[in-house]
Structure 1
Amino acid sequence: MVDGSDHGGMTLATSLPQARRLATEIPGPLSRELMARKQNAVARGVGTTMPVFAVRAGGGVVEDVDGNVLIDLGSGIAVTTVGVSAPRVVDAVREQAEAFTHTCFMVTPYEGYVAVAEQLNRLTPGTHDKRSVLFNSGAEAVENAVKIARAYTGRQAVVAFDHAYHGRTNLTMALTAKSMPYKHGFGPFAPEVYRAPLSYPFRDELDGPAAARRAIDVIEKQIGKPAAVVIEPIQGEGGFIVPAPGFLPALAQWCRDNDVVFIADEVQTGFARTGALFASEHEGIVPDLLVSAKGIADGLPLSAVTGRAEIMDAAHAGGLGGTYGGNPIACAAALATIETIEAEGLVERAREIERLMKDRLSALRERDDRIGDIRGRGAMIAVELVRAGTTEPDPELARSVAAAAHARGVIVLTCGTYGNVLRFLPPLSISDELLHDALDVLAEGF
């Protein structure tokens, strides 16, 4: 069991009892009051998965304003991988905030930014000479990776894949495959974006190399040589789709052979989430550019592009940056997050979570043929739900099982192009006991 209270220091988050507790119905009266205020103050386009308002979180639980303690299988969408307010992170943030909160790295730089870049250059796949640049969000980093690739190649076309999700900016909406709720009504989108078929083993009879040949054939026919290929090594919002073995290596090899920049979007898969520090490592992929965010700083806004020095340095001086990019407090949090991952063995902990969850979910599938597929790596696991005895997507079942889990105090997210996937992203600080309790609730929900 990994628990933040193993450290010498204690925080409110790490002292939170690690047990599910329902003090009221979900949502309780105080959450209902706050939801009414939200509806009167916050734009309608901002939705929420859970109808409760948080006041504390830590380890594997979130406490709401009514005193309900929920098991967290979402991690703020794969952000609080080392646990909310992990002690090292809290200490680092406090120390940095007392020193200074902002100067803008492009005006008066500071060591924290450089130190994060050094760590990213060390940790990302490959031993080649690398450079990094820091931003605020995953979408911003993806967009800048495309800018860098275009500057390096002198070409404009970019290839993304079926079921992809890359963000909500104009360019990243164009890269994203799913219309509702991400793109509908928000066009026109950035031009010179093309889409190729992904390897989707549950719905695809092709093995990895054959699926890669199919994708490459589409790319060569549509474009010839694009500036870049952008792909999630394991798709996130698209349904936690793990491409068949051999798909990613064949695609990366084609990019190398044709001077096309291979961009791995590891926003959701990075920083120990998949049982490797980065998901590209599972098949020995060395991306030209790697995009990271989410788990990089334990909840503070930070993202990065890291890649081959000759590609990263293609952009002219002043061509990359942003007022808040690499904020000093976020950099301090990132350094403490990396230290926590390495000191607490969280890469191996992610593998332990995978074994536990897949064993439990496989036993559930033996009793319920509406679970069509169980997939994912590390603490990034999903079940795809179908109508019994078929492969027809069943989004209604996904919604109802998730709602039943929510009512019993378990935070569960849905995803997938068809809306029929339950996804599980527990913090790596969660205990086995909490995981078993959450999976018991899930089984009852089915």
Structure 2
Amino acid sequence: MQAIESGQLKQGDRLPTHRNLAYDLGLSVQTVGRAYDELIRRGVISGEVGRGTFVRATGNETRTPYLPRNPDGPMIDLSLLKPVLEPMHAEVMKQALRDLADNLPTTIYASFRPATALGKYRENAIKWLRYCGIELQSQGLMITNGSSPSMALAVLTAANGGDLIAAETLTHHTLKPLAGYLGYRLRGVPSDDHGMIPEALERLSLRETVRAVYLMPAGLGPQARIMPEERRRALVEVARQRDIIIIENDAWGPMQAKRPAPIANIAPERTFYFTGLTKCVMPGLRLGFLVMPEGLEAATANRHLVVNWMATPMLAEIAARWIEDGTAEKLTRFQAEAFAKRNRLAEIILAGVPFRSSPNGMHIWLPMPPGWGEDDFVSHARQQGVAVAPGEAFAIADDHTEPAVRVCLGGQSIETLESGLRVISRLVRSRFEPALLTN
């Protein structure tokens, strides 16, 4: 695994046979076989009958910020962004399904055409976007199967193969592999406490033609920064001067309190904006809304037909009903309040430890103190039953030099979260110099 991640072994390289590797390492053939089976299950290598075993994934693809599978033993999983779930969520969904069974629209099960199946949900989508702070002007709107498909569609439409996309040096963990699969070039742009630095984006665009810039201004990014309005407008000014398309990821929607208006309101003519209901309403409600610049509706729709055809009508129907009767807003308020409480808990347990967070954010960003490397910290945390995400999984460049981990605050009961945070606190403080502690 280390040889693949470091690039020593490349995609397509043939691996030794079980027997030869066992002999070289002084292990049993059964032990090597189990290791190969696990790597095959993860999709890292592949076995071909009569030919041998080959590297399937590149080094970038082997690093994920979350646990690749459920662990064999008990584990507090703080590696993956998950909403907070209570019994009421199951009851709300059960009631929605009962209501759906009693009043099932024909379009849910009988329509193949996106316009026929989803056209009636446009007004509900506009209502939800308004709740997110988006006032549609002349832009197009598309309903998707969630934020991930929306992101892929935005990137596919904004750029062509070989084009350059800019993003913060630490960004969404799927952007780098997505760019690699589609043949785009990706460059990291330096940031400060307010997010991407406009002058740095401008300098990059003067050296190379930047086709699109990917931003997460509402605290979603690994470092949990909420970009102030002045910075948003400065980036828009650079984008307009250099003719750069903006891709704005707002997957958490209206969970963050008192945030500035989305960039899509400032520059509707060049911004792809997307949000979804998975994080802020319910994980199983995989539905997203993609807003696109005027004139790019047809291109985006054509790519959607190729990739997904259309969003799932049944989920669109449930979402529409919940948006209409206020259930979606109620569940979002619940998430915002739950994460505000969990952020306060993190502040108490990690008091004196420097970390970054946002008021209603789903995670914190914890820079490693002297004496801790990312991999060591992640490994020690897992040995003590806690999974966190290594910062390297979010880095665009391979020379990631600021070790940190992302600690997610959802997906567990608050009691379990408290136990996990206490493990993390003990680990951090075990190598902390007291003189370095700051607020």
- The TM-score with structure 1 as length reference comes to 0.61
Q: 1:146 aligns with which of 155, 162, 182?
A: 155
Aligned to 2:172, the other structure's residue is in SS state coil
Report the counterpart of residue 344 of structure 2 in structure 1.
356
Per the alignment, residue 9 of structure 1 pairs with: none
Aligned with 1:133 (options 133, 142, 165): 142
Partner of 1:330: 315
Q: Is residue 2:166 matched to residue 1:159? A: yes
RMSD between aligned residues: 4.4
Which protein shows a greater Rg? 2
2:167–2:215 CA contact under 8 A, matched in 1: yes
Q: In 2, Cα distance between the equivalents of 1:388 and 1:255?
A: 38
Partner of 1:400: 380
CA distance in 1, matches of 2:322, 2:388: 24
Between the two proteins, the alignment pairs up a number of residues equal to: 350
Structure with higher RCO (Cα < 8 A, 6+ apart): 1
1:433, distance to aligned residue in structure 2 (A): 5.0
Cα shift at 1:312: 4.8
Deviations 1:104-148 (A, max 9, x none): 342742466435533344233342424321233534322321344
| The one of 335, 339, 343 aligned to 2:330 | 343
The letter for the 2-side match of 1:146 is V
Return closer, same or farther for 1:285/1:323 CA change in 2, 3 Å cut-off: closer
The answer (yes or no) to whether the contact 2:213–2:244 under 8 Å persists in 1 is yes
> Given residue 190 of structure 1, which amino acid in structure 2 is its aligned partner?
G
CA shift for structure 1 position 307? 4.0
**2:425 equivalent to 1:443:** yes
Within the candidate set 197, 215, 230, 2:189 is matched to 197
Q: Choose which of 232, 235, 258 in structure 2 pairs with 1:251.
A: 235
CA–CA separation in structure 1 for the residues paired with 2:420 and 2:300:
50
Matched residue, 2:95: 91
How high is the TM-score relative to the length of structure 2? 0.62
Instruction: Show CA shifts across 1:5-39 (max 9, x none).
Output: xxxxxxxxxxxxxxxxxxxxxxxxxxxxxx99x95
- Do residues 106 (structure 1) and 88 (structure 2) align? no
Deviation of 1:421 after TM superposition, in Å, equals: 0.5
Alpha-carbon contact 2:374-2:390 (below 8 Å) kept: no
Equivalences for 1:35-434 in 2 at 5 Å?
Answer: 42-45=41-44, 49=67, 52=70, 73=78, 77-80=80-83, 85-96=89-100, 99=104, 100-101=108-109, 103-106=111-114, 108-110=116-118, 113-129=121-137, 130-149=139-158, 157-165=164-172, 167=174, 173=177, 175=179, 189-191=182-184, 193-201=185-193, 211-223=197-209, 226-233=210-217, 239-242=222-225, 245=228, 246-267=230-251, 270-275=252-257, 281=261, 286=266, 288-293=271-276, 294-295=278-279, 298-308=283-293, 310-313=294-297, 315=299, 318=302, 320-321=304-305, 323=308, 325-335=310-320, 339-344=326-331, 345-346=333-334, 348-349=336-337, 352-353=340-341, 355-363=343-351, 366=352, 371-388=353-370, 393-406=373-386, 412-416=388-392, 417=395, 420-426=404-410
Q: What residue identity is the alignment partner of 1:141?
A: S
Task: Tell me how far apart the structure 2 counterparts of residues 403 and 248 of structure 1 sit (CA, whole Å).
Answer: 42
* Aligned partners of 1:159 and 1:196 also within 8 Å: yes
> What CA deviation, in whole Å up to 9, does each residue of 1:283-334 have, x standing for no partner?
99746321224426522433331245x2553538755435553202222443
Identical positions, percent: 16
Q: Point out where structure 1 has 5 or more consecutive residues left out of the alignment.
A: 1-34, 54-63, 176-182, 202-206
The residue type equivalent to 2:275 in the other structure is S
Preserved CA contact (<8 Å) 2:156 2:303: no
2:437 matched residue in structure 1 = none
Unaligned runs of 5+ in 2: 1-33, 45-61, 429-439
Structure 1 122/51 Cα, relative in aligned 2: closer, same or farther at 3 Å? Answer: closer
